[in-house]
Chain A
Amino acid sequence: MARIELIDVVKRFKGETVIPKLNLTIREGSFTVLVGPSGCGKSTTLRMIAGLERQTSGDIRIDGACVNDVEPGKRDVAMVFQNYALYPNMTVRGNIEFGLKNRGVPRPDRERLVRDICEIVGLTPHLDKKPHSLSGGQRQRVALARAMVKKPKVFILDEPLSNLDAKLRGQMRTELIELHRRLGATFVYVTHDQVEAMSMGDRIVVMNRGEVMQSAAPMELYNDPDNLFAAQFIGTPPMNVLPLSALPGLRTEGEGDPAFVGFRPEHARLAPESTELPRDGIVIAGEIATRESLGAEQVCKLRSDAGTFFVKSFLNPYSGGDFALAVVPCERLYFFDRDGSRLRRLRAVQPQLAAAGV
């Protein structure tokens, strides 16, 4: 178990600043997921923690000790690469025990460790095979075993599931969560897939352009986003954001100068045009452009004067006509200022019917 701290870390590649200034603490024993669009600096951050990339300036501490000048092998960090990076000329056993050999672990201990690990990840029948004769999932397990056998304080995983098919990915997801619980080590996990982030992490760090947009627990991130970016990165479909000016009936009170209003697709409800309007929320009239039915849920895309948005309903799909009213309760509205920062001290006043017609 180890706490990882990045203090004022800056990274430049050939004059291009990838990470302007990063301050981040990864709690010991946590399963922290770095998530963000490609090029947001999440992989670079990971590689700097592992020591594969050196920060231009700033400090990285593992367990309080500065590791700036510690080489990768001595940081007590194990990494699982996106393409597994297994040694193709070595057998499964050779791959797993390579790190142990380099540490001078005696042979009997090595054999016991390899046997135990392979028992856990289910590789025992494949110990003498070479990686090229294994399936994607098996290679993934070898990569995990190779990392686990060193009993590191920190596990670093760089998009480890992105090369697997959907079914296997789901399975490995739960296995990784269990593994984290069993090992108790600090996991740092990079992905661009927000579903993966939400389902696996107990701590999620949303990054954009080398900056941390928000660092929070999954549900906190979902319910209480700090800014537009975090709000729109999490959720499928993401939060609907409309300019406040497009909703003339909506009145607010409190601190701040709101420019955008947001709501989650699943918090809106669709009603036929003719229904009597509720008094506890805003109503946006729109035309249904598409309806996607996914079994238990239905996602409708609506076009309105205020802009395009999504509405998601569970178990009771909307079956009315193409024109519908979307109703969003006031307490489910989020307000953001011009720069995209969340305005937490602002709330909607019970409306005298805030509506935008078609």
Chain B
Amino acid sequence: MPAILNRLRPYAMIAPALVVFSLFYLYPIGYMIHLSFHDWNFISPVKTYVGLNNYREMLADDTFLQVLRNSALYTVMTVLLATGTALPLAIWLNRKSAFHAFVQGAIFSPHIISLVSISLLWSWLMDPEYGLLNGLLHLFGIGPLQWLNDPDTALISLVIVAVWKSLGYNTLVFIAGLQSIPPELLEAAALDRSKPWTTFRRLILPLLSPTLFFLVIINLIGSFQVFETIAIMTQGGPINSTNTLVYYIYEYGFRYFKIGYASAAGVILLFIVGALTLVYFRMLSRRVHYR
């Protein structure tokens, strides 16, 4: 009897977590997939089975294709800028002085501010008529830019906000990565007559690659799920130029009440994020972690 109890014990231990996970993750995902094959308006007791119609309709929709393109563009720009600016910043900030500590704290602060506040703040800053940004640009004789009001600049404006918010976090993670490099390695490189650029390229960057990789994936997944800034600052406009996947799902689900169609878009998002996560875990296990 005790043998059976022993074998059951681990399952009993993880049961609470499993219940929560099933109830709030597995079941909704399953239900979403189920709904994506139906037509439903949220209220009617009748769910009409339509097969793959929702998917067919979606892939034929130019707006949806633009939404995918927007999402990809937004993600690539955000990831490149967010990691590309955080690394030099981290190298500069990786020093022990009161000033550097202050700057570290300062650039991290956006990370803990709610996205809604940030969105409102930046809508203000980017206002074409009386915004601070145009005021500053005016000093240099540039402008006025339309920022969120111009389909050509709206998406990049959202990217700027996202980069601003994530910069502190990314920088902090990079600093942690830099500090995990033993100082003797850099001393050995100095004794080997390595120039600063060579040391960076041949030693620091390879040792930092797990950190870099982690940040790229985290930012990738996060960017694909962007919602708040768009909902508050642009509502996907102008002319769908900032309409991305999650916002698109929200609009169809909770404004047009086309739940089946929105669920189908949700399944597409699930696949994209799932694929990225899979790549992440694959690389994570194959990656050499230098210790």
Contact = CB atoms under 8 A, between A and B. Distances in A.
Interface string B231-257: 000000000000000000000000000
Interface in A78-136: 78-79, 81, 83, 85-90, 98-99, 102-103, 130, 132
A73 B191 contact: yes
B63 interface: no
B192 A102 contact: yes
Contact of B190 (A71, A132, A150): A71
A110 to B, nearest CB: 13
A79 B191 contact: yes
A252 to B, nearest CB: 51
Interface in A5-28: none
Given A83-B182, A83-B184, A102-B198, A89 B290 contact: yes
A52 interface: yes
B290 A72 contact: no
A87 B187 contact: no
Interface in B85-124: none
A354 to B, nearest CB: 54
B203 interface: yes
B207 interface: yes
Nearest to B291: A132
A130 B206 CA distance: 14
B187 A85 contact: yes
A77 interface: yes
A152 to B, nearest CB: 9
A86 B207 CA distance: 12
A220 to B, nearest CB: 33
Contact of A85 (B185, B198, B202): B185
B193 interface: yes
A74 interface: yes
B188 interface: yes
Interface string B191-218: 1111100100011001100000000000
Contacts of A146: 188, 192
A162 B185 CA distance: 18
A89 B181 CA distance: 12
Nearest to A74: B193
Given A87-B185, A89-B207, A98 B202 contact: yes
A35 interface: no
A239 B161 CA distance: 72
A50 interface: yes
A225 to B, nearest CB: 34
A52 B190 CA distance: 8
A81 B184 contact: yes
Given A88-B207, A89-B203, A89-B206, A72 B191 contact: yes
A132 B291 CA distance: 8
A98 B192 contact: yes
Nearest to A87: B203
Contacts of A51: 190
Contacts of A50: 187, 191
Greatest chain B CB density within 10 A among A52, A77, A130 is at A52
Nearest to A75: B191
Contacts of A103: 193
Contacts of B202: 87, 90, 98
A130 B188 CA distance: 17
A88 to B, nearest CB: 4
A132 B207 CA distance: 13
A73 B188 contact: no
Given A88-B291, A130-B288, 14 more contacts: A50-B187, A50-B191, A51-B190, A73-B190, A73-B193, A77-B191, A81-B188, A85-B187, A85-B188, A88-B290, A89-B207, A98-B194, A98-B202, A99-B194
Interface of B: 182, 184-185, 187-195, 198, 202-203, 206-207, 288, 290-291
6 contacts: A52-B187, A73-B192, A87-B203, A89-B207, A102-B195, A102-B198
